[in-house]
Structures are given as structure tokens and as C-alpha cells.
Amino acid sequence: MLPTILLLLSFEACFATTSIPQELHIGFSVSPQSSTASFQPVLGDPSGNFSLGFLRKNHNQLALAVVHVASSEPFWTSSPAPLASWADTTTLFFNGSLVLSDPKTRVSWSTSTNGGERVALLNNSNLQVQNNKETPLWESFHFPGNTLVQNQNFTADMSLVSSNGFYSLRLGEDFMGLYENHGEEQLLYWKHTALEAKAEIKQGEGPIHARVNPEGYLGMYQTSAKPVDVEKFNSFQQPYTTASFLFIRLELDGNLKGYYWDGSKWLLNYQAITETCELPRPCGSYGLCTPGGSGCSCLDNRTRFEPDGDCLGGDEVSGDLCGGVIGGNSKYWVLRRSGVEPPHKELLGHVTTSSLAECEGLCENNCSCWGALYNNGSGFCYVLDYPVQTMVGTGDGSKLGYFKVRKEERGGNRVGVRVGVVGTVLVGIVVIIGVMVWVMRRKGVEEEEGVSPGPYKNLGSASFRSIEMCNKE
């Protein structure tokens, strides 16, 4: 008897979680369940293809996400807003705004819509907060992350950002471009200018927008329904395409890729960049990428390339070489290499100098410069005002590279090792102090019933970063 009841109860529980509502109304509230492995659906679309719910991240955190149910592929998430904890104190509720609230970490995300009447997920995966008007108050299609699904409009004021935050896709006046984020600066590494074969871009008629067309292309449009550009996918004008579903995603390596659904899995349909060496940093900092199969090596020929590390400097190379050092030169050492040129040089500015020495001089005397590359044939001089990433190898010995390497960051020799050990000990001490302060502050905060959110939050994230650093060591 008892087992039967239990069976019935658990059957009922299963059933309850599989009947997902298609609309959320004022007063709705739900929390993540500890038993959910990776995704807990909250709202479904009419076709059953898509679902809004809690997506588990880093074991015990979550983002709100719209996923493709059959593949669990997220098309939209509430990040880059901070992740909430996967805990029953975290709630998603609808009070006119759709709000994700985690009082424990004080993470809160909201559509900030007053007067919303319902939340609905459309059959194109667009999540909307609606009232009785035709235009929704809020829609996820206006806030893309790294993914753009078919028919989703991508406008000039949006950007698609890779989930590591390094790369972005944006529209210009008559082109779309992929950019590498260097602090404030954005370095263009791929540019596709509208061909204007079917329609022309007209001055003064507003910015262009882009959209994945279900017929199998990424189109750029201005005012007309005719595209000003058609970037074709493999599935272009294939009979299976219109019955399928397409999306593009800015991937972790900086490539823009397109996919289509064949009914059981996603197939690669498009790649903006097909040559590995044309990716923004295929071989890491101070790496050298040689087209035609020989792959990655290091600019410094005394250093061996390791696939999971950088040749020199590591990931932490940033900022500039300015300030604070007597004599100017002492902050860095110089590495020279022949047979190298900058990647995407057609997108880089250059100056023409009459000699290699003059080109190097432009960099040597400027502390915000990290390197200079000279073409002895054309006299073109490329000055790099950002930390040195992967260069491209050419067989041509008249192409010369001059690179500054920050001194403390030179690894692999005895000085480097000693600096590393001292660094580790220092990091350890900082972490211990950090944790002590954090625990003390946390106690304080708990006693005050959380009156001062600032220091608690900041300390929390700082010590979290330190712990991450230790794990890496």
C-alpha cells in the first residue's frame, strides 16, 4: 500500500514538472529545486520547442535562460548580469516586472517593466513581457547575448558578445565587424562590407540592421525589405532549410558560426573566419601562427609553444608600459623576429617610414606602444598600441617584428621562477588576509541584518577571484 502511494506521489510530482505553463501572470513565483540537474523549465512556448527556466552554472549558481528544449542549447540568458545562487531562497517572480532575486548574494535581475500583465514565450524563442498593447513592454530579442536566432533583428545599437567577453559583433554604417576588446579600445579583426547587389544603402535613411533569414543567409537591411547584403550559409536555397531553424553565435575563439537544426542535432552551416590564423588570438600572447598547417609556435624561438598556455607574459598582459621607471627602458626587454606580420593587417592603420630603425623608433619612444612591424619592401610600419597577441608567420624575411616584453612577466628562467614563488606566497598571504577580513565583515553584516551591501559584495567578489587564482596555480 505504502509503496503504491509513494509511486503515485512521485508520478504526480513528475507530471507537475512536465506540465509547463505557456503564460505567467501577476503573483507567479518559483524557486529552483535542488534535485534539478541542469535546467528547470518555468515557461514553455506554444510549439514546445523552447523553454524559459533556471539554467545551472558552476554547480551551484544559475542564470535565467531560454533554451532549445531538444538540445538544451541556450539562446538567451540573463547574464552578463551576475549569476544567482541555486538555492531555495532565490526566486523568480512576476509582479508587472519579471524579477530574479537572490537575497543571499543580493543578485537581482529585472525586466524593469511597470504594468506588465503577462509573460509569454513565442514560438521563435522570443521572451516577452506584455500588456494589452500590441508592442511588448520588454522582449529578450532586444537583449541578445552571444546568439542571434532566425528572424531576430540585430540593430546598430546592439552587440553580440562572446561569453568570455573578449569579442563582439557590431554593425557599422555599411558593414558588420568583429572586434576584439582591449580595455577601452576595440580592435577590428573581421569586416564584411555590404555588397549592395539587391538594394543600395541610402545616406540619411537611417542605420542598417541585420537578421538571419530562414532561407539560409545573414542579411543586412536598411529600410527596404530587400537586403543590402546577403552572407550565404551552406544551407542557402537548400530544400531542407525552410523547415529547419537557424542561429548564429559568437564563439569563445572569436569566430562567428552559424548552425541549423536537422531534427536531431545542430550542424555547422557558416563560419565567418575559415583560416585559423585569421582568428584574433589562435596562439595566445606572443604566439606565432603559420598558415598552411604548421600551426602555433612562439615569437621567441627559445620558448616552446604549450597549447594551454601563452608563450610569454600569460593572460595577464594588459595596460601599457608607462610610468614610474627611471631610464624608460627598464620595464621591458626587446624581442625581434623576422618573417612575421600583424594579423588582419588590411584592417590596421599604418605609417610609412624610410627605415626599420625609424619604425622601431616610433614604438621604442612611446610607452603605450607594445610592438612595431616593418615591411622592408613597402616601408609600411604597423604600430601596436595594445599588448602583443598572435602574429602571423610568413616566409618573407623582409617583414620584421619588434616586440616589447614586460620584464617581470618573463617566465622559464631562474628569475622568473623566483618571482613566481614569491608571487605565489604573496597571493597566499593576501588570500588568507582576504578571507579573514571577509569572515569578520560577514559576521558584521549578519549582525546588522545586511544594512551595508557595498563592502560585503565587493569583498565577496575579490576573495572569490583570489581563490580562483590559487586553483590555477
Ligand X SMILES: *[C@@H]1O[C@H](CO)[C@@H](O)[C@H](O)[C@H]1NC(C)=O
Chain residues that interact with ligand X, rule: CB under 6 A:
47, 49, 68, 70, 95-97, 99, 114, 123, 141, 151, 153, 245, 261, 263, 301, 366, 368-369, 376, 383, 385, 398
- Comparing CB distances to ligand X, the nearer of 182 and 442 is 182
* Residue 44 C-beta: closest distance to ligand X, Å: 12
Q: How far is CA 31 from the centre of its chain?
A: 28
Distance CA 403, CA 167 (A): 24
* Cell numbers linked to 128: 516577452
- Taking Cα atoms as reference points, which of 231, 59, 69, 252 lies closest to residue 147? 252
Collapsed DSSP state (helix, strand, coil) of residue 214 = coil
| Smallest gap from residue 324 Cβ to ligand X (A) | 17
Least spacing, CB of residue 368 vs ligand X, in Å: 5
- To ligand X, the closest distance from the beta carbon of 161 in angstroms equals 20
Q: d(Cα 326, Cα 8) in Å, to the nearest integer?
A: 79
- Could you give phi then psi for residue 459, rounded to 5 degrees? -60, -40
Pick 10 or 294: Cβ nearer ligand X: 294
- Least distance to ligand X, CB of residue 211, Å: 6
295, three cell numbers: 600551426
**d(Cα 233, Cα 217) in Å, to the nearest integer?**
5
Q: Nearer to ligand X by C-beta: 31 or 97? A: 97
Least distance in Å: CB of 189 to ligand X? 18
In this complex, which beta carbon is closest to ligand X, that of residue 49 or of residue 147? 49
**Which stretches within 315-452 are classed as H helix?**
356-364, 414-447
Task: Give min distance, CB of 473 to ligand X, in A.
Answer: 30
Q: 36 vs 151, which CB is nearer to ligand X?
A: 151
Smallest distance from the beta carbon of 225 to ligand X, in angstroms? 7
HSE on the CB side for 132, CA within 13 Å? 0
Contact 305, 391 (CB under 8 A): no
Q: Which is nearer to ligand X, 61 or 303 (CB)?
A: 303
Residues 6+ apart with CB under 8 A from 124: 149, 150, 151, 152
Q: Which amino acid is at 68?
A: H
Q: Which is nearer to ligand X, 97 or 238 (CB)?
A: 97
Q: CA-to-CA distance for 257 and 102, rounded, in angstroms?
A: 34
Please report, as a single letter, which amino acid is at residue 467: I
> How many beta carbons lie within 10 A of that of residue 20, not counting itself?
18
Q: Report the distance separating Cα 134 and Cα 130, nearest Å.
A: 8
Q: Which residue, 110 or 442, has its beta carbon nearer to ligand X?
A: 110
